[in-house]
Amino acid sequence: MKQLFLIFTIIFIGCKSEPEAADPTSDNQEDSFAISVEDIAKIDYIDYALSPDSAEAILDWQRFQELQSNMELLKNGNLSFFRVEKKIMEQFISELKMQQPPILLSAAIRSRMTVLETDLLRLQDLSNLDNITKEILLNAIKELLIADANLKLQINKKFEKEAQQIQLPVRTE
Cα 125–chain centre separation = 10
Q: Do the beta carbons of residue 84 and residue 46 sit within 8 Å?
A: no
Has residue 131 got a pLDDT over 80? yes
Segment 52-81, tens digit of pLDDT = 999 999 999 999 999 999 999 999 999 999
Would you state the pLDDT for residue 30?
A: 46
Segment 2-58, tens digit of pLDDT = 666 656 566 666 665 555 554 444 444 444 568 888 999 899 999 999 999 999 999
Q: Do the beta carbons of residue 51 and residue 161 sit within 8 Å?
A: no
Report DSSP letters for 152-170, one per residue.
Answer: HHHHHHHHHHHH----PPP
Provide the CB-side half-sphere exposure for 51 (13 A, CA).
13
**Backbone phi, then psi, for 19, in 5-degree steps?**
-70, 150
Has residue 148 got a pLDDT over 90? yes
Has residue 1 got a pLDDT over 80? no
Segment 103-126, tens digit of pLDDT = 999 999 999 999 999 999 999 999
Has residue 139 got a pLDDT over 60? yes
Work out the pLDDT band at 150, boundaries 50, 70, 90: very high
Q: Terminus-to-terminus CA distance in the chain, angstroms?
A: 125
Q: What b/e sequence results for 127-138 when a residue is b if at least 16 CB atoms lie within 10 Å of its CB, and e otherwise?
A: beeeeeeeeebe
Would you state the pLDDT for residue 159?
A: 87
Percent of the chain whose predicted confidence (pLDDT) is above 70: 78
Q: pTM here? A: 0.75
